[in-house]
């Protein structure tokens, strides 16, 4: 019998479905084990967080609640710089609010999203045990800099001005490399990752003993897709709920797939603007367009997932053993796509290279290699089922808190 705990844990998230939803079953498991959890995020996630059993607090950060970056017209390094500036500003807005709540509640440990810069800074300020919730595969700062070679060269004056404002409060942030150390979990006491251990290649500088592998976040309740790839199989297309504004890409899908016999399901991820336009121009009976779709249900019965390789979609595609055609938008997704390529579980098509011909050729490549992709994925699914579930990970977190 596991002894119940009375720990009060602070969770500092960011307003992203791919970063928030994987944590909710874990939060619920921590609460089942006797923890109290206070979860900071924006109002958009209030209902979901409260359903997990956590006490929700709104960051009340204008910068974090109104993230808007025109990614379709920007290079990856520019997107990274803009996101960093938003996180810098958000940190300055958020820290006083978290400080106030800590004085009232006195938290025992901090769990923070890898992009929530303020999480590790808060933990260091109050000498609290820190857990970094890492929804990507594990990378160190050099991996990121190597993947985005123009990042350091592209950093502009405004970036350093915003970093300087943070540095005046947190002198340990002297350069962008220090920021990347936090966002790659190098600085945290422990790391929570949502993939089985054998899917990771532990980067240089990481201590495997400090990593909590929560690979089975569904607690093995879903069956894998059994559909084979053919000329009439089901193809699911979704680019998440944040970076889903590339209208030309959706038009391209309609143009290419409308000439096939595939059954195609397109979700616009609550994007009303995109939904109305492509719904109007779609004249093909084999293509169904939805503002939002039940992704778990569709992945359990389709044979190909065309995705931006965000965390939720990538995890679920691996779990349901569905090969991917990947078109990443931002650096985080590019890292994910790189890992899927290494696993030989999908085909990468760069967004800037997408055209009628390139998409058609990509489909031919997928068809040629689909059985090999599927074979790899079926084997990898076993890793998920054998990995820690939410209760096991929660107990590991509690044990570490009590030990330290």
Examine residue 3 and state whether it is found in any structural domain, yes or no.
no
Q: What's the CATH code of the domain at 69?
A: 3.40.50.2000
Examine residue 72 and state whether it is found in any structural domain, yes or no.
yes
What is residue 353's predicted lDDT score, i.e. its pLDDT? 81
What is residue 149's predicted lDDT score, i.e. its pLDDT? 78
Residue 148 or 249, more confident: 249
Tens of pLDDT, residues 264-320? 999 998 889 999 999 999 999 999 999 999 999 999 999 999 999 988 899 999 999
In what helix (H) or strand (E) does residue 21 lie, and over which residues does it extend?
Answer: helix 17-32
- Could you give the 3-state DSSP secondary structure of residue 394? helix
Give the residue among 130, 134, 114 at the shortest CA–CA distance from 122. 130
Examine residue 68 and state whether it is found in any structural domain, yes or no.
yes
Q: Is the pLDDT of residue 121 over 90?
A: yes
Q: pLDDT band at residue 372, thresholds of 50, 70 and 90? A: very high
Q: pLDDT band at residue 403, thresholds of 50, 70 and 90? A: confident
| Mean pLDDT along residues 64-79 | 71
- Give yes or no for a contact between 214 and 26, defined as CB atoms under 8 angstroms apart: yes
Residue 148 and residue 21 share a domain: yes
- How is the beta sheet containing 8-12 ordered, strand by strand? 55-58, 36-41, 8-12, 109-113, 129-134, 190-193, 211-213
Tens of pLDDT, residues 124-142? 999 999 999 998 888 888 8
Examine residue 1 and state whether it is found in any structural domain, yes or no.
no
Residue 30 and residue 126 share a domain: yes
User: The tokens of 27 are what?
Assistant: 């939060």
Residue 159 and residue 65 share a domain: yes
What is residue 69's predicted lDDT score, i.e. its pLDDT? 59
Residue 206 and residue 245 share a domain: no
Residue 265 and residue 208 share a domain: no
Residue 345 and residue 253 share a domain: yes
Tens of pLDDT, residues 139-196? 888 888 887 878 888 888 999 999 999 999 999 998 999 999 999 898 999 999 999 9
What is residue 104's predicted lDDT score, i.e. its pLDDT? 86
Residue 291 and residue 326 share a domain: yes
What is residue 1's predicted lDDT score, i.e. its pLDDT? 40
Give the residue among 48, 38, 43 at the shortest CA–CA distance from 18. 48
| Mean pLDDT along residues 349-364 | 90
Residue 305 and residue 343 share a domain: yes
Number of structural domains the chain divides into: 2
Examine residue 226 and state whether it is found in any structural domain, yes or no.
no
Residue 344 and residue 203 share a domain: no
Average per-residue pLDDT for the chain: 91
Examine residue 150 and state whether it is found in any structural domain, yes or no.
yes
Examine residue 227 and state whether it is found in any structural domain, yes or no.
no
Q: Alpha-carbon distance 300 to 176, whole Å?
A: 41
Residue 204 and residue 74 share a domain: yes
Domain boundaries, position 282: 234-385
Residue 107 and residue 199 share a domain: yes
Examine residue 294 and state whether it is found in any structural domain, yes or no.
yes
What is residue 374's predicted lDDT score, i.e. its pLDDT? 97
Residue 319 and residue 202 share a domain: no
């Amino acid at each position: 019998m596991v002894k119940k705990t009375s720990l009060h844990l602070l969770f500092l998230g960011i307003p992203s479905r791919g970063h928030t939803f994987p944590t909710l079953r874990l939060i619920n498991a921590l609460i089942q084990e006797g923890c109290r959890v206070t979860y900071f995020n924006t109002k958009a996630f209030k209902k979901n967080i409260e359903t997990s059993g956590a006490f929700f607090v709104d960051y009340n950060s204008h910068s974090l609640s109104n993230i808007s970056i025109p990614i379709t017209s920007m290079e990856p390094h520019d997107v990274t710089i803009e996101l960093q500036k938003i996180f810098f500003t958000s940190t300055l807005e958020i820290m006083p609010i978290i400080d106030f709540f800590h004085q009232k509640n006195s938290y025992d440990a901090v769990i923070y999203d890898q992009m929530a810069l303020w999480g590790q800074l808060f933990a260091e300020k109050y000498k609290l045990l820190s857990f970094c919730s890492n929804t990507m595969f594990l990378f160190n700062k050099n991996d990121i800099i190597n993947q985005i070679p123009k990042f350091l060269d592209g950093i502009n004056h405004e970036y350093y001005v915003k970093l300087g404002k943070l540095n005046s409060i947190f002198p340990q942030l002297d350069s962008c490399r220090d920021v990347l150390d936090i966002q790659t979990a190098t600085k945290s006491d422990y790391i929570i990752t949502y993939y089985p251990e054998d899917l990771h290649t532990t980067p240089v500088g990481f201590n495997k003993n400090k990593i909590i592998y929560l690979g089975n976040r569904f607690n093995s309740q879903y069956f894998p897709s059994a559909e084979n790839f053919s000329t009439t199989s089901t193809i699911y297309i979704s680019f998440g709920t944040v970076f889903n504004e590339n209208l030309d890409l959706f038009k391209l899908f309609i143009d290419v797939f409308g000439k096939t016999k595939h059954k195609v399901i397109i979700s616009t991820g609550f994007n009303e603007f995109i939904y109305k336009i492509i719904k109007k121009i779609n004249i093909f009976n084999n293509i169904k367009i939805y503002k939002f779709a039940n992704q778990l249900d569709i992945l359990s019965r389709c044979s190909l997932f065309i995705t931006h390789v965000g965390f939720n979609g990538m995890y679920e595609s691996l779990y349901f053993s569905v090969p991917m055609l990947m078109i990443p938008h931002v650096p985080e997704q590019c890292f994910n796509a790189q890992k899927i390529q290494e696993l030989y579980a999908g085909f990468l098509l760069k967004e800037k290279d997408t055209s009628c011909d390139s998409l058609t050729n990509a489909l031919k490549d997928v068809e040629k290699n689909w059985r090999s992709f599927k074979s790899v994925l079926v084997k990898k699914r076993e890793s998920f089922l054998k990995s820690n579930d939410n209760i096991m990970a929660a107990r590991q977190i509690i044990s570490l808190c009590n030990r330290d």
